Amino acid sequence: MSKIVQAFLSGMFFTFILDFFLFLGIKVNYIDANEIDLYYNILFADNQNIFFFLFLSILLGYITLYLSNKVALIVLLPLFLFVFSTLLSPIGNFVAETLLMQKDVRITTKKFVYKGDIYYKGREYITFYDHRFKKFLKLEKNKITGGI
């Protein structure tokens, strides 16, 4: 097997590990904590950026195969520490809010106007926290008339 293919495959391996723990921290500390009905696989698949994944795979593969072990350790260790730190509740919640939450949003349907925060935009539903009612609402995307 050529060295380029080995670099790419090892980069994909490290990137998969990083992604798995990043999304696990988001799932445990944000999705489950806010009682959003969502499976891990859907969270992972819907929020995975293929271009970023490929770029990181190439970069990490190059670092692990072509640079010295000391440089690889200096680069990879902080990445792994950051991703594993999302398993801690405050950090996982902060990262998830940064990536998924939209604050102070106005959503219009045929009958109502909601003001609050979007906690998660799913495939068919939006999990929304209404400030007026002080509770979570599950809104169907196809019933929203105004823009988000």
Please give the torsion angle defined by the CA atoms of residues 42, 43, 47 and 51, in that order, rounded to the nearest 10 degrees. -70
Partnered with residue 127 across adjacent β-strands are 120, 138
Residue 73 inside a domain? The answer is yes
pLDDT in tens, 57-106: 999 999 998 888 898 899 899 999 999 999 999 999 999 999 999 999 99
Containing 57, the helix (H) or strand (E) segment is helix 50-66
Q: Within this chain, do residues 12 and 52 fall inside the same structural domain, yes or no?
A: yes
3-state DSSP assignment of residue 122: coil
Structure token digits, residue 47: 């929020």
Domain limits for position 34: 3-99
How many Cα atoms sit within 13 Å of 44 on the Cβ side? 14
Could you tell me the end-to-end alpha-carbon distance of the chain, in angstroms, rounded to an integer? 49
CA-CA distances (angstroms) from residue 112 to 37, 42, 88, 115?
23, 29, 38, 10
pLDDT in tens, 97-142: 999 999 999 998 888 888 999 999 988 899 999 999 899 999 888 8
The number of domains in the chain is: 2
Residue 11 inside a domain? The answer is yes
Quote the CA–CA distance of 110 and 96 in Å, as a whole number: 30
pLDDT in tens, 15-58: 999 999 999 999 999 999 999 988 888 888 889 999 999 999 99
The predicted model scores a pTM of: 0.87
Q: Within this chain, do residues 50 and 63 fall inside the same structural domain, yes or no?
A: yes
